[in-house]
Amino acid sequence: MNSWKKPTKLKIILLGDSGVGKTSLVKRYHDKDFKELHLSTVGIDLLDKELCIENKLVSLQIWDTAGQERFKGMPSAFYRDTHCCVLVYDVNVLQTFESLDNWHAEFIKMANPITPDKFPFVLMGNKTDVKDGKSRVVEKEKAVEWCNSKGEIVYFETSAKEKINVDEAFLEIARKALSNERRNNEIYTSNIEIVEEQPKRCAC
Ligand code: GDP
Ligand code: MG
């Protein structure tokens, strides 16, 4: 994949209760292009993937915790400069859905985005494959209602185990992150009164 310019870095973080499948979702999205930049030394796994969206080469940097969410102990650097925040719950465990309000609020408090009301979140309801009698407790309508109550959060029903909707969700996450990066740039450039022309295409 070639580009006229260096790829635009987009930071994505995953939040949600321990055990909902965050790491499994990232691993499912993982492919041979994926570079592992960092593993668990500071309790954060950082993965990087280049892709071309909307004629632009981007480097998607996906930050996953290495288990500290059990103690809500992520350092502030984990939240800083995020372009899109992915919230994950397990459709079979009510408590993980009920925790979403806290994770949402925690993100806004810690990341302190320029425009909190417009900040892009994506919600994943994971483990939709489980059909062993331990039936699902959070229906899709309930999750969509929660998303609408917070603004415009996009919702995906996923299974990391069966790779359902995983690529689709990450593509939307990348799109949301890119439009957020563009909006931040506009705010920044309008503040300093310089309008820089955006690169129009990448050759991939
Ligand atoms: P995390 O703590 O949120 O990172 O969760 P993990 O990715 O470590 O997953 C916790 C457990 O759930 C592991 O045993 C996974 O194999 C399992 N798991 C993750 N995603 C799915 C899924 O989509 N379906 C099923 N059935 N199990 C899953
Ligand atoms: Mg994990």
Bigger pLDDT: 34 or 157?
Answer: 157
DSSP assignments along 47-114, one per residue: EEEEEEETTEEEEEEEEEESSGGGGT---HHHHTT-SEEEEEEETT-HHHHHTHHHHHHHHHHHH--S
Return mean pLDDT, the chain: 85
Going by alpha carbons, the residue nearest to atom 25 of ligand 1 is: 127
- Taking residues 124-141, report their average pLDDT: 90
The set of residues, in sequence order, having a beta carbon less than 8 Å from that of 18 and lying 6+ positions away, is 67, 69, 70
Nearest CA to ligand 1 atom 10: 19
What is the value of ipTM here, to two decimals? 0.99
CB of 65 shorter than 6 A to ligand 1: no
Treating both helix axes as pointing N-terminal to C-terminal, what angle do 22-29 and 166-192 enclose, rounded to 10 degrees? 90
pLDDT tops 80 at residue 106: yes
- pLDDT value of residue 104: 97
pTM over 0.80: yes
* Distance from the alpha carbon of residue 47 to the mean position of ligand 2, in angstroms: 13
**Segments making up each domain of the chain, as ranges:** 8-190
Q: Which fold has domain 8-190?
A: Rossmann fold (3.40.50)
Is pLDDT at 191 greater than 80 in this prediction?
no
Quick one: which H or E segment has residue 140?
Answer: helix 140-149
pLDDT digits (tens, 9 = 90+) for 57-69: 999 999 998 777 8
Cα distance between residue 119 and residue 101, in whole Å: 15
State the distance from the centre of ligand 1 to the C-alpha of 103, rounded, in angstroms.
18
Q: In this structure, is the dihedral angle defined by the CA atoms of residues 54, 166, 148 and 64, taken in order, positive or negative?
A: negative
Quote the CA–CA distance of 192 and 183 in Å, as a whole number. 14
